[in-house]
Amino acid sequence: MPLRFVKLALWPRYDAVLFLFGICLLYACGKEPLALPVFREVPVPVAYDLTAVWFTDSLHGSITAGAPWERGVLLSSTDGGRHWQADTVVNNRLDCVMFDAAGRGYACGMDGLALVRWAGQGHWYPFRLDYCWNRSCFFWDDHHGVLVAGEGFQTGLARKMGPAALWVLDTLWTFPNALSAVWYADSLTVCAVGLGWLLRSENGGRTWERLPYTDDFFQSIHFPSPTTGYVCGSAGSVLKTTDAGRNWRTIREGGSLGRRHAPFRALWFVSPEKGFLVGDEGLFWRTENGGGDWTPLAGLPTDADATDIFVQGRRGWITAKGGRLFYFEE
């Protein structure tokens, strides 16, 4: 993706003062964070960055964590996230965890790590290991899934796994830029995002179409329904689709001024209208009208760089760097 250079003119001192005053005014007029009934930090038994969280029901949850080229850990909870234990340790950082509708779990990370936890079992088992950095995965079931990868800002990969078995590679696609997240809208429709890339497949990931949205490093994607989906980017943009990813519209421009201007990292929607967004420096927002307006929520410390969010009903969990986990209730 080519870099864009902008030549800036020197402003007169008077104009600069007015500009700075305008910025201060915008910040002063920003919305006050809304306090939630419950918000607390939850201790975990590791100090590594927590990278992703997923709950299968009100009691059982999993978290991925780790440090590059050092260690990867899968944490589990059986009491609704009150207590966590490390149940699986691997040789490199893990970046994603998710579960399919049948309760099978999938996780991935560096060194091409891909792991599965069969429904009803407590431990994770590797089913793939190679050279790439798997950033995200989504499995519709144990015979259909996609792994996406990226090294820094480049070397994007999308692997379609199955249908013979989840560990059998069906199709491999390479892209010039890194891919960071993937989601199935239905059993055949898959969307993936990355650095200046938004991809869509109508055959489970065997072939991909690039869509014309390029102005951000897209970090997270979520479909609360088969037709409605959202994407956020590290520069502050939010995209929305209502036709299963065929067309997207920008509902928040990246780089715009606001009360907080920190990179967006992850989003989660509990319905097509209601969702949450987290990012660096304690950024924690909520929308109740499909992204038309966002309300900052209180609780996440400004020294917490959030990495993921999962919401189930009126309860939610936020992972962050440095082994920090937060729990909230509405």
pLDDT of residue 43: 98
- The residue among 296, 266, 281 whose CA lies nearest residue 52 is 266
pLDDT of residue 121: 86
Digit-coded pLDDT (tens) for 118-158: 998 888 999 998 889 999 999 999 999 999 999 888 889 99
255-273 average pLDDT score? 80
pLDDT of residue 57: 96
25's CB contacts (< 8 A; 6+ apart) are none
Please report which helix (H) or strand (E) contains residue 14, including its range.
helix 13-28
Please write down the long-range contacts of 238-245, taking CB distance under 8 Å and 24 or more positions apart: 238/264, 238/267, 238/277, 238/291, 239/198, 239/213, 240/290, 240/291, 242/272, 244/185, 244/186, 244/189, 245/185, 245/189, 245/191, 245/200, 245/211
How far is CA 152 from each of CA 84, 94, 97, 149, 156, rounded to the nearest angstrom? 30, 15, 20, 10, 9
269-278 average pLDDT score? 98
Banded model confidence at residue 261, pLDDT cuts 50, 70, 90: low
212-219 average pLDDT score? 94
Name the pTM for this structure.
Answer: 0.89
Given a cut of 70, whether residue 30 has pLDDT beyond it is no
Given a cut of 90, whether residue 110 has pLDDT beyond it is yes
78-100 average pLDDT score? 97
Using DSSP's 3-state secondary structure scheme, residue 24 falls into helix
Query: In which residue are the tokens 């080229």 written?
Result: 69
pLDDT of residue 154: 81
Of residues 150 and 25, more confidence is placed in 150
CB 162 within 8 A of CB 143: yes
Rounded-to-integer distance, Cα 258 and Cα 242, Å: 26
293-309 average pLDDT score? 97
Rounded-to-integer distance, Cα 308 and Cα 65, Å: 11
Mean pLDDT of the chain: 90
Given a cut of 60, whether residue 256 has pLDDT beyond it is no
Given a cut of 60, whether residue 9 has pLDDT beyond it is no
Phi then psi for residue 22, to 5 deg, are -65, -40
* Window from 4-13, 148-157, 219-228, 250-259 with minimum mean pLDDT: 4-13
Given a cut of 90, whether residue 3 has pLDDT beyond it is no
Question: Can you list the domains of the chain with their CATH numbers?
Answer: 36-329 (2.130.10.10)
